[in-house]
Structure 1
Amino acid sequence: MTTAIAGVFAVHPYTPHCQVIHDEGDHAVIGISSGNGYFTHERVLDLANWGLEHFRQVDLIWTDLHVAEMFEALGYPPVEAQRKAVKNLRGVRAKVTGAVGFLDPEGKRLRGRPMSALLEIPAYQRIRTRLDDLLTADPEFREVCDQLAARFLAGKLNGQPPTDRQREVCIKYVCAEVPLFLDTPAILDVPSSLNCYHQALPLAELLYARGYGLRASRNQGHAIINPVDTQEQPA
């Protein structure tokens, strides 16, 4: 994996081919997690600015699917779970729309949208249906999803093992994002796309492995980007 310093971020394309997609500079999708303290107003603005410096088009996409379900699975009463979800989503939406309004108010190159806005796109629907099938038919994909769920829940359960309900809701949350790691170009109608996140994910090991199985499309790339003063060195 190569590393390049770009502005205030260190960029780690996951494979040499991901580096090519990065260098082509067609499109970047930057995932913004709700309720994650990493994504401050300043950080979201910096990420958007970095994207515009290096790509012709940028999408900031925040997760808004299954958030209330997750809070409820973690033990909050339904009304409180909904309230917390609304509060978190209001906050992340304000950060994204604020960055778009400041940097590209006409939305010519920078767009902000929730994950739910993708649900009506046929390519997203097709990929999401395939993932549902693979959860039962592909042990390798299911194992990776279980790993992601365990990683997400580890910091929320104070060392307690997750329940089946918690694990299943978390996997639904994860699978809502996976299509953007598989084929953003088909979903958003761009020539090629680099999916950017600030942590190494087990999912990337699967999607960019050699051989057969669930693999990212040829014009889909992935990179880990971190502020240069706190950059995470990927394994």
Structure 2
Amino acid sequence: MPSQPDFEVGGEGAVFEARPFTTNCECLVEKGEHALVGVSVGNGYFSQYRIAQLLDWTGRRFASVDVLYADLHVESAFRASGMDPEHAARRTHRALRDVRRRIRRAVESAGDVPARVRTVALSEIAEFPGYRTAARRIDREIEQNPLLRAACEDHVRHVLGPAEDPEGARFRAGMDYLRAELPFLLSSPEVLDVASSVCCYHVLMPVLPRLRGEASCFHPRQGHLVLRPLRPDGTYEDAEVS
């Protein structure tokens, strides 16, 4: 991540260090028009308590908040890891049921935040015209731009391990999952039809620094904010990329 001063986290008792990816991202956070909170299915970091904390933090700083969970390509990822189809289907059903329940309860327990809060599944938004337009453009760019394709492949290696076979099923599933997320990472204002949007996650997604200089990849009002959870003693809590 580029060197940036810590963004003002808020009042006493705040539980996150907030760090914008770029100075443009910092400006978009200050505008506070829209936040996108990504919740990864199967990542234990996203407990009901943690999601409620994220909603409380973003809900007091942004006019509207979308909580997004990716329900596409989950079963194919399980199958690519070696599960038989029946086991993968059961595991997917449980994982999605659990993440929906945690999000629903977190929204209920987050308290009275000023923002408009909405929960959306990737499968729902994949039908939005803005998503389809952004996905087609990004897919075309991946095929034509070696830098973007290499950045995506390196991201998948970071998540799965550097020795992962790029021709293997797990690697292909990882690429499919990332490509489904890229419209949000690079163009969420277009996807969600908002003036500007800040993606909030607990780590900087590995693909983003590789693309920082590629202005054509990013919507001009696309922001990214790393929200790192802090323990009471001020140290960071560990969290995985997923």
Alignment correspondent of 1:96 = 103
Secondary structure of 2:50's aligned partner: helix
Q: What is the CA RMSD across the aligned residues, in angstroms?
A: 2.1
Alignment correspondent of 1:161 = 164
Alignment correspondent of 1:218 = 220
Secondary structure of 1:31's aligned partner: strand
CA distance in 2, matches of 1:207, 1:188: 22
- Change in CA separation of 1:182 and 1:161 when aligned onto 2, cut-off 3 Å: closer
How many matched pairs?
226
CA distance in 1, matches of 2:215, 2:32: 28
TM-score (norm 2): 0.86
CA distance in 1, matches of 2:25, 2:108: 29
Residues 47-66 of structure 1: matches in 2 within 5 Å? 47-66=54-73
AA aligned opposite 1:161: E
CA distance in 1, matches of 2:110, 2:118: 10
The offset of 1:228, in angstroms, is: 2.1
Unaligned 5+ segments in structure 1 are none
The question of whether the paired residues in 1 share the 8 Å contact of 2:53 and 2:110 is answered with no
TM-score (norm 1): 0.89
Residues 59-78 of structure 1: matches in 2 within 5 Å? 59-78=66-85
1:81-128, CA deviations, whole angstroms, 9 ceiling, x for partnerless residues?
A: 1111111111111111222233479x9701111111111111100111
Choose which of 181, 203, 215 in structure 2 pairs with 1:177: 181
CA distance in 2, matches of 1:160, 1:205: 22
CA distance in 2, matches of 1:33, 1:10: 20
- Change in CA separation of 1:185 and 1:208 when aligned onto 2, cut-off 3 Å: same
Alignment correspondent of 2:197 = 193
- Change in CA separation of 1:100 and 1:205 when aligned onto 2, cut-off 3 Å: same
Query: Structure 1: which 4+ aligned runs deviate by more than 6 Å?
Result: none
Unaligned 5+ segments in structure 2 are none
The offset of 1:44, in angstroms, is: 0.7
AA aligned opposite 1:226: R
- Change in CA separation of 1:138 and 1:160 when aligned onto 2, cut-off 3 Å: closer
CA distance in 2, matches of 1:26, 1:231: 28
Alignment correspondent of 2:206 = 202
Alignment correspondent of 1:121 = 128
AA aligned opposite 1:131: I
The question of whether the paired residues in 1 share the 8 Å contact of 2:58 and 2:65 is answered with yes
The offset of 1:22, in angstroms, is: 0.3
The question of whether the paired residues in 1 share the 8 Å contact of 2:211 and 2:217 is answered with yes
Alignment correspondent of 2:119 = 112
Secondary structure of 2:217's aligned partner: coil
Secondary structure of 1:184's aligned partner: helix
The question of whether the paired residues in 2 share the 8 Å contact of 1:10 and 1:231 is answered with no
- Change in CA separation of 1:189 and 1:104 when aligned onto 2, cut-off 3 Å: farther
